[in-house]
Amino acid sequence: MPISKQLTVVLENKPGALAELCTELSKLAVNITAIMAPESKSQTPLRMVTSSHEAAKRVLTAMNLKFTEESVLTLRVADRPGSLGRLTRKLAENDINIEYIYGSIVKGMGKALIVVAVSDNERAAKLV
């Protein structure tokens, strides 16, 4: 299913903050399937998609961390030149704006995981 729930967590930008979060998530066997954190001086908005959204929310609440939830597209895209271009062109041609995008590729797997926040999840999910 291409629509997933993403959590955006506000973490203090200090040594060990992410390690503590990851440790607490692992205690409930929550796997982080996608993660992105931009450069920040004091607080970092960390975006993540997890294997268990509800369990991750329980961990964040127990840690007294502020977080928000939003729906995003999670797509497996072929690891070939032009694959992402075709996907983004299809969205553009249907007047769907990309608000932000991040992803990762594991060499040899043949597919990349791409997380995309768009202006219309339902329409975009039907297109891709």
pLDDT in tens, 43-102: 989 999 999 999 999 999 999 999 999 999 999 999 889 999 999 999 999 999 999 999
Q: How confident is the model at residue 104 (pLDDT cuts 50, 70, 90)?
A: confident
Q: Say what the pTM is.
A: 0.85
pLDDT in tens, 7-27: 999 999 999 999 999 999 999
Kindly tell me the burial class for residue 113, based on how many C-beta atoms sit within 10 Å of its own C-beta (0-12, 13-18, 19 or more). Answer: middle
Residue listed under structure tokens 């692992």: 26
Q: Is the pLDDT higher at 48 or at 105? A: 48
What pairs with residue 11 in β-bridges?
Answer: 44
Domain boundaries, the chain: 3-70, 72-127
Non-local (6+) Cβ contacts of 45 within 8 A are 8, 9, 10, 37, 38
Architecture of domain 72-127 in CATH?
2-Layer Sandwich (3.30)
CATH 3.30.2130.10 fits 3-70, yes or no: yes
For strands 43-50 and 111-118, give the pairing. Answer: unpaired
Which among 56, 49, 54 has a CA at the least distance from the CA of 21? 56
Query: Which string of DSSP letters, residue by residue, matches 11-37?
Result: EESSTTHHHHHHHHHHHTT--EEEEE-
Q: Is the pLDDT higher at 20 or at 127? A: 20
